[in-house]
Amino acid sequence: MNDSNQPILYSFRRCPYAMRARLALTYTAIPLEHREILLKNKPQAMLCASPKGTVPVLVLSDGKVIDESLDIMLWALAINDPQHWLTENLNDRAEVMALIQKSDLEFKPLLDRYKYADRHPEHPMEYYRTQGERFIELLDCKLSSQNYLMGDEVTLADMAIAPFIRQFAHVDRNWFYSTPHQRVQRWLTTFLESELFLQIMTKHPLWIE
C-alpha cells in the first residue's frame, strides 16, 4: 500500500514515454507523488514495482502497477476526460489506437535507429531518417485540412504521438525545419508551446530513496 494514498509516478523528464504519462495525468488533474529518477541509477523501489526497469511506472494506492505509458493514459482518461481526448465514436477511437500503434511499432524503432545511428551501422543515419520520414508524411497529410490528427480538436492521438515527433525533430532541428512538412512543424510547435506541455516539463528534484 502507498502511505500517501496517492498514486506514485516514476518518471524521467526527457523520456517521451514518460511525457505521455505526465500529459494525461496532468490533464486529468489526478493528484500524485512525482518521483523523478535517473535511468542510469534506477531506484530499487521502482524496480520492485516494475522489474523491466523502464519509465513511466505508476503505482496506485492499492499497490496495482501500470508500467506502460499508453495504459497509464487510458487509466487516467477513464477517470477524467474534460476535453474528450477519447472520442465516443468507436470508429474514430479505433483509428486513434491504430495510429498510435503505427507510431509505437513502426516509427519508434526507426526513430531510435536514427537517433543512435552509431549503434546500428548496417545503414547510414540518413537511411533511418528517410524511413521515419514516411510517418511524418502520413501525419502531414492528415493535417492538410484540420488542426489536429483526428480533426479540429486535440485527441489522445496527438498527445500520445507528439512526444516522439519532438524527439525525431530534435535529432537534427535544422534538417527537420527545412523539410516541406510545414503542417507537422506547425502542429508540433503548437504542442511545444502549449501550457500543458510546458507544465509537464517543469523540472523536479531527483527523488532519493
Looking at the structure, tell me whether residues 32 and 66 fall in a common domain.
yes
Over residues 48-68, the mean pLDDT reads 97
Closest CA to 21 of 31, 5, 10: 10
Given the C-alpha cell 548496417, which residue does it identify? 122
| Per-residue model confidence (pLDDT) at position 1 | 43
27 in any annotated domain: yes
Q: To the nearest whole percent, how much of the chain has pLDDT over 90?
A: 95
19 in any annotated domain: yes
Domain boundary among 65, 82, 99: 82
Q: Return the CATH number at 67.
A: 3.40.30.10
By residue range, what is the domain housing residue 187? 90-194
113 in any annotated domain: yes
For 21, 56, 80, the CA distances from 69, given in Å and listed in that order, are: 5, 6, 17
**pLDDT tens digits, residue range 27-53?**
999 999 999 999 999 999 999 999 999
Q: pTM higher than 0.85 for the full model?
A: yes
The alpha carbon of 20 is separated from its chain's Cα centroid by a whole number of angstroms, namely 3
**pLDDT tens digits, residue range 8-17?**
999 999 999 9
